[in-house]
Amino acid sequence: MAQPSRRQLAVLGVLLVVMVGVYARAFRRLAPAAVPSTTEVLPSGRALVAGIPDQDPGLSARRAAQRAELEQLEWTRDPFSRGPARGHGELTLSGILWDAAQPLAIINGETLQPGETIDGFRILSIEPASVVMTDGTETLQLQIAP
């Protein structure tokens, strides 16, 4: 095995010093900040702690205006879903993972494949937008809206 050159040893030494510095900063414990023990109330009624007013006078008015604006917005559907989930009683279809060889359906938060059962219903088939299930007497079709 060849001996390392002086240049390689110098680079290794510099990297070691940098690494120790980084770890020292990462694990250094900071002293807790001093908490002022006195609070002064200004003539305007606002609190003053360590010389800093507790809030900007116009802040609450701006927040109220933002809340009012948010309430006026009309939200549309989730762009990542194919539509609202439709269910039958206690069964709710929330998604389909479509693969012709091995399709999966997400029903009541469980990932299921054809032949498996949930709440007494056995999955007969899974299509790209629907699931057909039966309990032996009733056949139902859960759909994802387009």
Domains of the chain: 87-143 (2.30.30)
The pLDDT tens digits of the residues spanning 45-93 come to 555 554 445 555 666 777 788 778 777 766 555 555 555 455 556 788 8
Which 3 state secondary structure label does DSSP give 124? Answer: strand
Instruction: Give me the mean pLDDT over the 105-127 stretch.
Output: 91
> How far, in Å, CA of 35 to CA of 95, rounded?
51
Question: For residue 79, what is the DSSP state?
Answer: T
**Residues linked to residue 105 through DSSP beta bridges, in sequence order:** 96, 112
Q: How confident is the model at residue 122 (pLDDT cuts 50, 70, 90)?
A: very high
Contact criterion met (CB below 8 Å) for 105 and 111 = yes
What does the pLDDT read at residue 36? 47
